[in-house]
Structure 1
Amino acid sequence: MNQISPLAYVHPEAKLGDNNIIGPFCFIDRNTVIGDNNVMQNSVTINYGARIGNSNEFFPGSSISTKPQDLKFKGEDTICEVGDNNSVRENVTISRGTASKGTTKVGSNNLLMENMHIAHDCVFGSNLIIGNSTKFGGEVTVDDNAVVSAEVLCHQFCRVGSYVMIQGGSRFSMDVPPYIIAGKEPIRYAGINIIGLRRHGFSNDLIDLIHNAYRILYSDGTREENINRIKSELQVTKEIQYIIDFVQSSKRGIIK
């Protein structure tokens, strides 16, 4: 049975699962689907088009599936998907999609800290930690297990790779490849995320292999020449192939 405060508003067309807690002054709009065991503390807004999974906790002031902050948006019928076991802290805003992709997606087991923003048509993975007041422009992709610190500004259309650590206060408009630390001003490659990789069970040999891949990637020579060197000089594990594919598919280019 759901526990719904008499001070909350739930639209009659909203679809709720079981065992949800909906606190006072929450607003749940029509065309919303909410799974089981979610907790919505006071003053949470679940807007039109939200698709919420299970066992998420939404803190006061969070607003999910907001109308996109995009002048090209003309009211098209789009959605915002949020997975399971996310902690969505105070005043977090997540926009729904536009005609570009139709959906904003956030995976599972993420910690989205206070006052951060995910814009329209973004695709966020799982096991992410996003710091306070960090903002992502439209159509950004963040792969699994990334850590983005506080007050980071990410330009639209960028991609952030898995297992990265991005320093607080950074600003970037290029892609951040996987397994690295990115920081300083202007933002740049600052080494391998050794501590993060060890915490996730990467062996020392694999960490050394990744380090060697980036040593070659950021050496003299064109990006294509350096990729070819990686392929010829190193064992191409799935991790190394991920780096290669990430760099070769980058449309904005990777940080220096």
Structure 2
Amino acid sequence: MIHPTALIDPAAHLADDVEVGPFTVIGPDVEIGPGSRIGPHVVIKGPSVLGARTRIFQFASVGEDCQDKKYAGEPTRLVMGDDNVIREGATLHRGTVQDRGETTIGSRNLFMAYVHVGHDCLVGNDCVLANQVTLAGHVDLGNFVILGGLSAIHQFCHFGDHAMAGGGSIITKDTPAYIMISGNPAQAHGLNLIGLKRRGFSKESIRALSEAYKLVYRQGLTVEQALEQIHARFSLPETETFAASIELSTRGIIR
């Protein structure tokens, strides 16, 4: 299960059935859950916790010191849920004490080749980050997010649930839930309708979200005026989530 050329620190904690490929290095304070498969030439540094059935491909670096110049070797963490896939050359860094001290990743996410997840990021569940997507520090991704290849998100940005970015997007503001964006700088291009239908959203919910989207993006209203009308006209959980993702914005939303 563990290749003889792998270097695993005695202070690391691996479940009994974890597979480790040749020339992989696993440091102290690393925990890896059952059913996980770690490929060749992978580096995992702690403190880091990787959940069950984690799959890491060759040349990935997980839990390394962050690139923030303020970082001075503090024992920050990276914590991941279950069933995550980390492809070739991806880099996932630990947090900083200036923020939460932890980079937190949910479950069932796919990080394609050469993705970078910066320090203190918060990634939800069921996200897909295509090749060479870059998250700066302190980025917050919701659930069921899709980021097209070569997209980049500025530090401290929020990206809402079920939202999608086209390839090559440069994202410097917050992205409300459920919408599609693309471009440099990124602009909104409607709801993520295909994604919502695939995930079983009801016709009623999609219709209400379409109307709410128009209030924000098509009626010439200010954001505050649009939110007032959304709260007055709709009471579905989906429209509440959409409105909340706008109200919680600290950088302004992509419009």
In the superposition, the TM-score normalised over structure 2's length comes to: 0.97
Structure 1 stretches of at least 4 aligned residues deviating more than 4 Å after TM superposition: none
- Whether the aligned pair in 1 keeps the contact of 2:33 and 2:54 (CA below 8 Å) is no
Give the letter aligned to residue 23 of structure 2. Answer: F
Instruction: Find the aligned partners of 1:81 and 1:235 in 2 and give their Cα distance.
Output: 37
Partner of 2:183: 184
- Whether the aligned pair in 1 keeps the contact of 2:138 and 2:155 (CA below 8 Å) is yes
The reply to whether residue 62 of structure 1 matches residue 78 of structure 2 is no
Instruction: Find the aligned partners of 2:180 and 2:248 in 1 and give their Cα distance.
Output: 20
Instruction: Find the aligned partners of 2:246 and 2:69 in 1 and give their Cα distance.
Output: 31
Q: CA deviation at 1:207?
A: 0.7
Give the letter aligned to residue 46 of structure 2. Answer: Y
The reply to whether residue 165 of structure 1 matches residue 164 of structure 2 is yes
Partner of 2:33: 35
Q: CA offsets per residue over residues 10-51 of structure 1, 9 Å max, x none?
A: 001111112000010000001111111110110111112111
Partner of 2:3: 5
The reply to whether residue 49 of structure 1 matches residue 8 of structure 2 is no
Q: How many residues align?
A: 253
The DSSP-based 3-state class of the residue aligned with 2:103 is strand
Unaligned runs of 5+ residues in structure 1 are: none
What does 1:1-256 correspond to in 2, within 5 Å? 3-99=1-97, 100-218=99-217, 219-232=219-232, 234-256=233-255
The DSSP-based 3-state class of the residue aligned with 2:78 is strand
Q: CA deviation at 1:185?
A: 3.5
- Whether the aligned pair in 1 keeps the contact of 2:7 and 2:23 (CA below 8 Å) is yes
Q: CA deviation at 1:235?
A: 2.0
Give the letter aligned to residue 147 of structure 2. Answer: V
- Whether the aligned pair in 1 keeps the contact of 2:7 and 2:24 (CA below 8 Å) is yes
Instruction: Find the aligned partners of 2:16 and 2:161 in 1 and give their Cα distance.
Output: 34
Unaligned runs of 5+ residues in structure 2 are: none
Instruction: Find the aligned partners of 1:185 and 1:159 in 2 and give their Cα distance.
Output: 17
Q: CA deviation at 1:184?
A: 2.9
Instruction: Find the aligned partners of 2:111 and 2:184 in 1 and give their Cα distance.
Output: 24
- Whether the aligned pair in 1 keeps the contact of 2:50 and 2:80 (CA below 8 Å) is yes
Q: CA deviation at 1:165?
A: 1.4
Q: CA deviation at 1:92?
A: 0.6
- Percent sequence identity over aligned pairs: 33
The DSSP-based 3-state class of the residue aligned with 1:4 is coil
- Whether the aligned pair in 1 keeps the contact of 2:171 and 2:184 (CA below 8 Å) is no
Give the letter aligned to residue 225 of structure 1. Answer: Q
Q: CA deviation at 1:84?
A: 0.7
Q: CA deviation at 1:183?
A: 1.0
Q: CA deviation at 1:239?
A: 0.9
- Whether the aligned pair in 1 keeps the contact of 2:61 and 2:90 (CA below 8 Å) is yes
The DSSP-based 3-state class of the residue aligned with 2:244 is helix
Give the letter aligned to residue 13 of structure 1. Answer: A
- Whether the aligned pair in 1 keeps the contact of 2:77 and 2:102 (CA below 8 Å) is yes
Instruction: Find the aligned partners of 2:234 and 2:247 in 1 and give their Cα distance.
Output: 18
- Whether the aligned pair in 1 keeps the contact of 2:170 and 2:183 (CA below 8 Å) is no
Give the letter aligned to residue 128 of structure 2. Answer: I
In the superposition, the TM-score normalised over structure 1's length comes to: 0.97
Instruction: Find the aligned partners of 1:198 and 1:172 in 2 and give their Cα distance.
Output: 25
- Whether the aligned pair in 1 keeps the contact of 2:139 and 2:155 (CA below 8 Å) is yes
Q: CA offsets per residue over residues 167-202 of structure 1, 9 Å max, x none?
A: 000101101111111013431110111110000001
Instruction: Find the aligned partners of 1:240 and 1:60 in 2 and give their Cα distance.
Output: 42
- Whether the aligned pair in 1 keeps the contact of 2:7 and 2:26 (CA below 8 Å) is yes
